[in-house]
C-alpha cells in the first residue's frame, strides 16, 4: 500500500510536554510519530533513548484498526553505531519500525532479518553522500527506504533538493515501496519531494510550530497523493 504518510519528528517537540504534544499530532491527523535516536557516535548529537520511547508508548498505547494496523505507529530512526545492539530494546520499548543507516552496518541483509525476527518493520536510510544504488539490492526485503534530505543529527536544517533524483530512482525501481524523506520539509519544499515520488514525509519543525497542524498535514497528504496518482502507484488498501 503506497499512499501519503505524515510522520512528525518529535525531535522538534517541547520535551517538557512530550506526551501531550505527541497526542496532539495524532489528533491533528498525523499517521506516525518519527522518533530520532542518536548516540553521539554515528552522528554528532545525543537524543532520545529507549526509556523515553517506553514512557511514550505507555502514554500512547498501540491501537489497531479493522485492518490490524497499529494507528499509533512509532517510526524509530536509529542514527547509531552498531544498530544490531538495539533491535531487541526498541521492540521491547514499543517501537513499530526500525530504520538503520546503511553506513552503520557491515551486513544490512542480516540486520533486516534480525529486525523482522523481533516483529518490527525494517527500513534502511542513506545519508546525503551515499549513492542510492546501495539500496537496490535491499528494496525487496525492506518495508521502507529513507533518503535523508539533510545531514542527519540535528533538526531545523534546510531541505536539500538535490537529493530528489535518489527518490525518483527508488520510486521507478520500487513503485510499491514506502519511500521516506527526512529533513527540511514544509509547505515550500513538499512539492519537490512529492513530485519525486516520496510518500512518507517526516516534518518536525513545520508540524510542531504550525498554527494549524491539521491544515498543514492535510496539505502534505494532498500533495503526495496527487503525485502518486499521477505516477500510477497510489493504492488506498
Binding-site annotation: residue ranges for a divalent metal cation: 34, 36, 77, 182
182 noted as active-site residue? yes
Question: Residues of 207-225 as b/e, b for ≥16 C-beta within 10 angstroms?
Answer: bbebeebeebbebbbebbb
Catalytic residue among 31, 39, 75, 182: 182
Supply 211's cell numbers: 498554527
What whole-number distance in Å separates Cα of residue 196 and Cα of residue 167? Answer: 6
Rounded CA separation 118/91 (Å): 6
Question: Which set of grid coordinates corresponds to residue 65?
Answer: 484498526
Q: Which residues are annotated as part of the binding site for substrate?
A: 9, 77, 153-156, 184, 204-205
Grid cell listed for 110: 542480516
Given the residues 36, 39, 75, 143, select the one marked as catalytic: 36
Set of cell numbers at residue 187: 509547505
> What residues form the annotated binding site?
9, 34, 36, 77, 153-156, 182, 184, 204-205
Active-site residue set: 36, 182
Amino acid at each position: 500500500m503506497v499512499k501519503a504518510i505524515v510522520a512528525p519528528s518529535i525531535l522538534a517537540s517541547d520535551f517538557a510536554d512530550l506526551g501531550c504534544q505527541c497526542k496532539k499530532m495524532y489528533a491533528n491527523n498525523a499517521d506516525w510519530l518519527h522518533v530520532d535516536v542518536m548516540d553521539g557516535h554515528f552522528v554528532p548529537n545525543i537524543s532520545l533513548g529507549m526509556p523515553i520511547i517506553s514512557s511514550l508508548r505507555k502514554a500512547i498505547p498501540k491501537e489497531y484498526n479493522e485492518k490490524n494496523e497499529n494507528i499509533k505507529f512509532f517510526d524509530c530512526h536509529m542514527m547509531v553505531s552498531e544498530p544490531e545492539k538495539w533491535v531487541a530494546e526498541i521492540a521491547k520499548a514499543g517501537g513499530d519500525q526500525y530504520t538503520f543507516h546503511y553506513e552503520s552496518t557491515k551486513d544490512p541483509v542480516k540486520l533486516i532479518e534480525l529486525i523482522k525476527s523481533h516483529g518490527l518493520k525494517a527500513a534502511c536510510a542513506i545519508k546525503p553522500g551515499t549513492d542510492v544504488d546501495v539500496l537496490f539490492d535491499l528494496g525487496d526485503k525492506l518495508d521502507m527506504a529513507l533518503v535523508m534530505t539533510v545531514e542527519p543529527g540535528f533538526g531545523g536544517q534546510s531541505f536539500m533538493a538535490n537529493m530528489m533524483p535518489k527518490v525518483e530512482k527508488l520510486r521507478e525501481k520500487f513503485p510499491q515501496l514506502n519511500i521516506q524523506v527526512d529533513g527540511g520539509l514544509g509547505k515550500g519544499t513538499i512539492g519537490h519531494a512529492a513530485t519525486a515520488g516520496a510518500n512518507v514525509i517526516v516534518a518536525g519543525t513545520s508540524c510542531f510550530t504550525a498554527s494549524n497542524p491539521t491544515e498543514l498535514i492535510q496539505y502534505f497528504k494532498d500533495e503526495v497523493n496527487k503525485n502518486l496518482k499521477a505516477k500510477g502507484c497510489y493504492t488506498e488498501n
